A and B are shown apart, each in its own frame.
Chain A
Amino acid sequence: MEKWVCEICGYVYDPAEGDPDNGVSSGTKFEDLPDDWVCPVCGADKDNFAKEA
C-alpha cells in the first residue's frame, strides 16, 4: 500500500500504521480515509497530500 506525504509539514501517512489517534485503524488506504480527515500534524486536508515518490 502506498504512503502519502503532506506537502505542508512533511508528515507521512503510512497505511500500515493508520492514524489511531484520530480513529483510523491500521490497514486503511489513503484513498479510503474520510474526506474530512486532516493531517494529524499540521491540519492540512487531503488535497495537500501527494504519493510518496
Chain B
Amino acid sequence: MKARLHIFQTIAVATIAAAFLLGACEMVPKGSLWTEVEIALELPQELDVDLDLSQVEIRLQAKASPVAYVTNPDGQGKARIRVQPGRYDLLASAYYKATRIAVNANCPEFLLTEKGIVGDDGGLLPSIITLNLEVAIPNELVFREIYYHGSSTLEGASYTKDRYLEIYNNAGPGGRTVTLDSLCVSTIYPYNSTTGNNPWKGLDTLALAQMFWMFPKGGYTLAPGESCVVALVSAVDHSSRATSGLQLNKAHFGAYADHLSGHEISAGVTPMVCYMAGQGNTWAVSIHSPAVVLFKPEMGVDAYRADETTWERYEPGKTSGTKYWHIAKGWIIDGVECADSPEQSIKRLPASVDASYVYMRSPHYSGKCITRVLEDTIDGIRIYKDTNNSAADFTPDATPSPNLKRP
C-alpha cells in the first residue's frame, strides 16, 4: 500500500511538473529569420559630372507583404540592408535638381533566402547586388495624365467609358515641335500587374495587349507646352452619365473603330487608327494596373505590320497557343507602369522606360487619376518632372484635369 502510494505520488508530481515545464519552454520557436543583402551602386563611366551617391534612395520592396525597406548608401555607393528572406524588387533612384540629372537602376524581382539569392537555374548566389545606374534622358513627348480607374454612374454602378490619357510636349522653351503622325499608343501584356509572372521579363521585346492605336496621318503636331487628350473608349460628354463629369466630346482624339462595339465618338474628335494585336470588341485597358506606352516602330507602322514573321510570336517558352505582336523596347518614347499595389506586382516595362511603378491608394472606380508632377514653369511653358521613375514623376489619386479643346 505504502509502496503504491509512493509510486502514485511520484507519477502525479512528475506529470504536473512536466506540464508546467513543457509549457514554459519555447517548444515552438518564435525567432525571426533574417538575412543581409549588400548593394553596390555604380555610375556610368561616360558621365563627366560628379554625383553624390549618398543621395540615391535605395528601396527594397517586399513582394509578399506590404513592406518596403528604404535606405541611402554611403559616399561610395555601398549599402547593407538587414531584411527578412522573401521576394523583393530593388530600385535605386535619385534626381539632382541643380543639374536636372536623374539616375535610375533596378533589379527585377529576385528571391532572397537566408543562404543567398536564388538564381534563374535555382542555384544560390551571394547576396550581393551591383546596380549600374543609368542616366534618365528626358523625353520630348510624355504622358501628362492617365485616367484609368474609372468612376461610377449617377446611380452608383461602375463606369469605365470616361477614361482618357493626355500626351504633352515637355521640351520646354526653345524645344522642338513634334509631329504625332504614326506615333502609337497601347498597353503592354500582361494586362494586370497582379498576374503571377511576366514571361517577357528581361527581354528586349515586349508584347502588345490586344490592340494598338496610331495617330492618323494629317500633320497633327504638338508644340512645347501643348498637349492632346485621347479618349480610350467614348469621346462623348459624360457629364450626364458619370460622376466624373468629363466632357470628352472635347477630346482631341478618340479610340474609335466601327468594328468595336461600345466605342463612341463625337463630331470634331479625330478618330485614331486601330490595329488589332489580339481579339475583342472593346479596348480592354486594365482599370487597376495598365502599363501604358507611346511608341513608334522604327521602320514605320505599315512595314512593321507587314513583317508578321518577325514581330508576331508566341509567348516566350511556348510553341503554340496565342500569338502576340511584339515591339522593341527601343521604340518606346514614353511609358508608365501602373501597379495595383507594390507587393505582388510584376514589372512589365524595362527600367530604361520606367524604373519603378505608380499605384493608386484610392479604390477602383474612384474617379481619380495619376498626373505628372509639375517641376517648373519657364516663360509660361510648364515643364513636368521626367526621371523615368513613375513613383517620383507622378502623383496618384489626383482629380482628372485634362487639357481639352477649347470651343
**B is bound to A:** no
**Chain A interfacial positions (CB closer than 8 Å to B):** none
